[in-house]
Amino acid sequence: MTCANCVATVERTLRKQPGVEEVGVNYASERASVRFDPALVTLEDMAAAVERAGYGVVLADEGELEDAEAMARAAEIADQARKFWTGAALAGPLFVLSMSRDFGLLGAWAHAPWVNWLMFALATPVQFYVGWDYYVGSWKALRNGAANMDVLVALGSTVAYLYSVVTATALTLGSTAAGEHVYFETAALIITLIKLGKLLEVKAKGETGSAIRELMELSPATARRVGSDGGEEVVPIEEVEVGDVLIVRPGDRVPVDGVVLDGRSTIDESMLTGESVPVEKAPGDDVVGATVNRTGAFRMRAERVGSDTALAQVVRMVREAQGSKAPIQRLADRVAAVFVPVVIGLALLTFGIWWLVVDAGVTAALLRLVAVLVIACPCALGLATPTAVMAGTGRAARRGVLFRSSEALERARDIRVVVLDKTGTITRGEPAVLGIELGDLPESELLRLAASAERRSEHPLAEAVVREAEARGIALLEPTAFEAVPGRGVRAEVDGRAVVIGTRALLAAELGDDRWEPAWNERARVVEDRAQTPLWVAVDGVVQGIVGAADAVKEGSAEAVAALRAEGLRVVMLTGDNERVAHAIAGQVGIDEIRAEVLPGAKADAIRAIQAEVDGAVAMVGDGINDAPALAIADVGIAIGTGTDVAMETADVVLMRGDLRVVPEALALSRRTMKTIEQNLFWAFFYNAALIPVAAGALYSLTFLPMMLRALHPVLAALAMAFSSVSVVGNSLRLRRAPL
Cβ atoms within 10 Å of 435's Cβ, excluding its own: 14
What is the full DSSP assignment across 140-154? HHHHTT---HHHHHH
Kindly give, in sequence order, each residue whose CB lies less than 8 Å from that of residue 521, ignoring residues fewer than 6 positions away.
504
Is residue 141 a contact partner of residue 147, using CB atoms and an 8 Å limit?
yes
Q: How far is CA 603 from CA 338, 421, 560, 641, in A?
A: 47, 9, 22, 20
- As a whole number of angstroms, the distance between CA 599 and CA 530 comes to 23
Is residue 242 a contact partner of residue 305, using CB atoms and an 8 Å limit?
yes
Is residue 545 a contact partner of residue 437, using CB atoms and an 8 Å limit?
yes
Q: What is the number of alpha carbons within 13 Å of residue 161 lying toward its C-beta?
A: 22
Helix, strand, coil % in the chain, rounded to nearest 5:
55, 15, 30
Q: Is 29 in a helix, a strand, or coil? A: coil
- Residue 67, amino acid: D
The DSSP element (H or E) to which 688 belongs, if any, is helix 662-696
CA 69 to chain CA mean position, Å? 18
- As a whole number of angstroms, the distance between CA 703 and CA 412 comes to 50
**Annotated catalytic residue, options 133, 257, 286, 421:** 421
- As a whole number of angstroms, the distance between CA 101 and CA 98 comes to 5
Measured in Å, how far apart are the chain's first and last C-alpha atoms? 33
- As a whole number of angstroms, the distance between CA 214 and CA 315 comes to 10
Quick one: angle between helices 329-352 and 4-15, nearest 10?
120
Quick one: angle between helices 443-454 and 460-471, nearest 10?
130
Q: Could you tell me the maximum CA-CA distance found in the chain, to the nearest angstrom?
A: 123
Is residue 414 a contact partner of residue 671, using CB atoms and an 8 Å limit?
no
The DSSP bridge partners found for residue 20 are 36
CA 382 to chain CA mean position, Å? 17
Q: What is the number of alpha carbons within 13 Å of residue 670 lying toward its C-beta?
A: 26
Q: Is 421 a catalytic residue?
A: yes
Radius of gyration of the chain (CA): 34
The DSSP bridge partners found for residue 693 are none
CA 658 to chain CA mean position, Å? 20
β pairing state of 222-226 and 257-262: unpaired
Of residues 463, 541, 547, the one with CA closest to residue 507: 541
Kindly give, in sequence order, each residue whose CB lies less than 8 Å from that of residue 536, ignoring residues fewer than 6 positions away.
489, 500, 501, 502, 503, 504, 506, 507, 520, 524, 543, 546
Q: Provide the residue count of the chain.
A: 740
Q: In what order do the strands lie in the sheet with 481-485?
A: 432-438, 542-550, 533-539, 497-502, 489-494, 481-485
Q: In what order do the strands lie in the sheet with 286-287?
A: 232-236, 222-226, 245-248, 298-304, 257-262, 286-287
Give catalytic residue positions.
421
